[in-house]
Structure 1
């Protein structure tokens, strides 16, 4: 979620802050499609990173199991992991809303750290709120709602300028 906030701040917030997005809006493509494309690109990159990191983790544990007798390898519930991954990516869009309020990259990244602290709160156990599929789905829906609100504000605010 923090890396996603960094990508959001580079691809979206910085362009609004420096007003370079106005050049992009001069092209005969709708603003909604341009912003949506940026967000889909960010989400796709994050999904790829999630999948690659899971493959690396499983491969490392599998190899460690072959070398050490005290390490056990088992693949968890794939459906639950997929829901958690998609929900984490969608929740990672929430810092877009926070960052667009003041067009601040710092606010975007700090809000993502706060979100991670809340969503991954494990309180001493190995499972946080994001590991519960229902909570993960709710977090994902919250991320979608706030990113839609932020997109609407981005499109309407530029039309008035």
Structure 2
């Protein structure tokens, strides 16, 4: 499996994925800093009531972004190869089709998991440092806050990684790149949208259930792949 993953990374040019993630970090950071620096000093009330609220928004935005990012990877690594028939060439190799697809999907899962955790650590650290100097959020940093947020980030990252596989079911059915990405956008709109301070994603059972569903449907999508005609 690891050999297949290494080959896929080499074929897909790992540097492109890394640069894509770094650019995504920068865009998220720039957007959040714009809100913080523009609205922070002009509001009669703080833009965020606490560091926990600020870190929670950062986490939500990061998860939403990388679930959609994962759908683009799914479209490139799986759906696109079915569309342009290169998957048929791969399946001609003396390697299990299930292992080939499992390698690709494992890449998407781990990539999403790692990016959500790393982005939260980097962007969260920057924001806590900036706020410690500017003080727009009237709150202090405590070890309890950091521990609770760390646990939340890891749990939400696992949930996001599982949910990132959900669009594959629609994409595989239609063999459509747009359907894969649109499904991810709709998923993010439902789970990560904030309505007057409430988000479905804040009820951890919901994203974890969707993550389990994503993994289950993915397994069901590829279980009969050895008997599917992809020519």
Q: Same fold (TM over 0.5)?
A: yes
Within a 5 Å distance, the mapping from 1:83-122 to structure 2 comes to 83-122=155-194
1:53 pairs, out of 98, 102, 119, with: 119
Please report how far the alpha carbon of residue 153 of structure 1 lies from its aligned counterpart in structure 2 after TM superposition. 4.9
Alignment length, in residue pairs?
A: 159
- Say which one has the larger Rg: 2
2:219 matched residue in structure 1: 148
In the alignment, is residue 134 of structure 1 matched against residue 200 of structure 2?
no
Contact in 2 for aligned 1:99/1:107 (Cα 8 Å): yes
Q: Structure 1: 5+ residue runs without aligned partners? A: none
Q: Deviations over 1:11-32 (max 9, x none)?
A: 0000001110111112211111
- 2: distance between equivalents of 1:81 and 1:68? 25
Contact in 2 for aligned 1:88/1:130 (Cα 8 Å): no
Secondary structure of 1:93's counterpart equals coil
2:81 matched residue in structure 1: 15
- 2: distance between equivalents of 1:59 and 1:83? 19
- 1: distance between equivalents of 2:125 and 2:175? 40
Give RMSD over aligned pairs.
1.8
TM-score norm. by structure 1 comes to: 0.89
Q: Which runs of 4+ in 1 moved over 2 A?
A: 69-81, 152-156
In the alignment, is residue 26 of structure 1 matched against residue 92 of structure 2?
yes
Q: Structure 2: 5+ residue runs without aligned partners? A: 1-66
Q: Which has the higher contact order (CA 8 A, sep 6+)?
A: 1
- 2: distance between equivalents of 1:43 and 1:138? 16
